Structure 1
Amino acid sequence: MTAHLDIRDLRVSFHSGAERVDAVRGVSFRVERGASYGIVGESGSGKSTVLRAICGLAPVTGGEVLFEGRPVSEPRDAAFYRNVQMVFQDPYASLHPRHTIDRVLSEPLAIHGFKDRDKRIETALRDVGLGPRFRFAYPHQLSGGQRQRVAVARALILEPTVLLLDEPTSALDASIQAEVLNLLDRLRAERGLTYVLVSHDLAVVAHMCEQLMVMQHGQTVEVMTRADLQAGRATQDYTRRLLAASEGYTPMETSA
């Protein structure tokens, strides 16, 4: 069966003068339609760079990114962004401080030529648990959790099939994290979305993902299922150290 997203031997290198940094070194994984796949590792492991390479924000220097069985173009075209959207880590930085929420949500619709923008904006805000009163607010008037809900609404307003989630709750207070994770869970179930989630938090990954890849120094260390993670069945020392560092974590108990 053709994977929804298929990453084959992905390589990403950055150059600064004579220096070269190999940020991602031969990473491969497949995500089936409707699945949620996690990528975990310490800071600097290359996990966020993988997401940025998939969506065209980091230079792919080797390997392939396939969407629904077909290699994606360089640079990414409009059709790709209609189907694949990214939610960034920091809701404080990802929204323009001088743009109203209405403008934030209108811009992707205008770029892609969508009509009935008013209806789509109202629906998007409602779908992420924000009412119409937020439409003409500015980001500084919203809480961190509300801003991240706007970021999710912006990603979903084009009706994509894949969301790339780069530490979507790490910048939020612990009390708000579960609310956003519940929202993402609900939207995935309602829309049949495919997720690729990057996180350093094993509890978040255990809650959200059926399968995960552990990364270190730009490479895959180990691939595990959720059951493996919850049972502590790691085969590699690095993964065992990650589990030990998170000892005492439990899968998040969230209420709808």
Structure 2
Amino acid sequence: MKHAIEIRDLSVVYDGFKALKSVSLAVEPGESFGLVGESGSGKSTLLRAIAGLAPVAGGTILLKHHYLAGRRDKATLRDVQMVFQDPYGSLHPRQTVDRALSEPLVIHGIDNAEVRIRRALDEVGLGQGFRFRYPHQLSGGQRQRVAIARALILEPSILLLDEPTSALDASVQAEVLNLLDQVREDRRLTFLMVSHDLAVVTHMCDRLMVMHNGAEVETLSRAQLAARTVSAAYTARLLAASEGFRRA
């Protein structure tokens, strides 16, 4: 079986600083894979490297066994979509929801905009009443639902999720996570998800990689994380420091 995502010895350097140090991982089609660790551990940098937004200094990135290098072509950009952490910063304040959803369709030359916009809004639980609202007229949870709809509208097979609920209230977090879970099941999507919240990762991810200082510490299954069956002292400290961690 082809891996949906395969990273081999990936390094990223910003102005002499090694943000990623020879990281490797493989994510299977339809799997939800988590990246956890403290701020600055390299989690988001890894996502950005896959999306073509970080300066790769070494190693390889493969999507479905196709090598990625340099600027991403339109086919890759369509198949791999990213949902960012900040629902306030990811939407243009002067664009309606309709415009935000139409724009990627125009860029990729997709004609059936009306059908796709209606379906995307329904899929994220917003409905047509939100179509011509502006971001300031939406709650944080509603804005993140629009961001998810925008990612889904191109019908990707892979979603890169960078702390997609960390800026939301706890009750809204659960709603958005359940939505993402349902979307993955319905569309058979592959997720690569960054989170600092181990409870979220236990709920959402089949496997996870613990990262520290730009490198892998260890890779665990959901069951190992839930049972706290870890081998690295750093992971044990991360578990101990994680407020509200509950066994699945």
Which TM class, normalised by the smaller chain length?
over 0.9
Structure 2 regions of 5+ residues with no counterpart? none
Distance in structure 2 (CA, Å) of the matches to 1:44 and 1:82: 28
Kindly report which structure 2 residues correspond to 1:77-226, keeping only aligned pairs within 5 A, or say none: 77-226=73-222
RMSD across aligned C-alpha pairs, in angstroms?
0.9
CA contact (8 A) 2:124 2:148 kept: yes
Match of 2:53, SS state, is coil
Question: What TM-score do you get using the length of structure 2 for normalisation?
Answer: 0.98
CA contact (8 A) 1:89 1:168 kept: yes
Q: Which residue of structure 2 lines up, in the alignment, with residue 6 of structure 1?
A: 6
- Deviation per CA, 1:152-196: give whole Å up to 9, x if none: 000000000000000000000011000000000000000000000
Q: Which residue of structure 2 lines up, in the alignment, with residue 58 of structure 1?
A: 54
Distance in structure 2 (CA, Å) of the matches to 1:79 and 1:127: 23
CA contact (8 A) 1:9 1:25 kept: yes
Q: Which residue of structure 2 lines up, in the alignment, with residue 243 of structure 1?
A: 239
- Deviation per CA, 1:114-133: give whole Å up to 9, x if none: 00111111110000001101
The code of the aligned residue for 1:106 comes to: S
66-75 or 94-103: which moved more? 66-75
Distance in structure 1 (CA, Å) of the matches to 2:95 and 2:63: 32
The code of the aligned residue for 1:23 comes to: A
> When the two structures are aligned, how many residues end up with a matched partner?
248
Write out the 4+ residue segments of structure 1 that deviate beyond 2 Å after TM superposition.
none
Distance in structure 1 (CA, Å) of the matches to 2:2 and 2:183: 23
Distance in structure 1 (CA, Å) of the matches to 2:247 and 2:89: 28
Structure 1 regions of 5+ residues with no counterpart? none
Match of 2:33, SS state, is strand
- Deviation per CA, 1:81-113: give whole Å up to 9, x if none: 111000000000000001000110000000000
Match of 2:20, SS state, is strand
The code of the aligned residue for 1:12 comes to: V
Distance in structure 1 (CA, Å) of the matches to 2:247 and 2:237: 18
Q: Report the CA distance between 1:75 and its aligned residue.
A: 0.6
Match of 1:227, SS state, is helix
Match of 1:64, SS state, is strand
Among the aligned pairs, what percent are the same residue? 63
Q: Report the CA distance between 1:57 and its aligned residue.
A: 0.7
CA contact (8 A) 1:207 1:251 kept: no
Q: Which residue of structure 2 lines up, in the alignment, with residue 74 of structure 1?
A: 70
Distance in structure 2 (CA, Å) of the matches to 1:186 and 1:53: 27
Q: Report the CA distance between 1:73 and its aligned residue.
A: 3.4
The code of the aligned residue for 1:163 comes to: L
Q: Alpha carbons of 1:88 and 1:251: their partners in 2 closer, same or farther (altered >3 Å)? A: farther
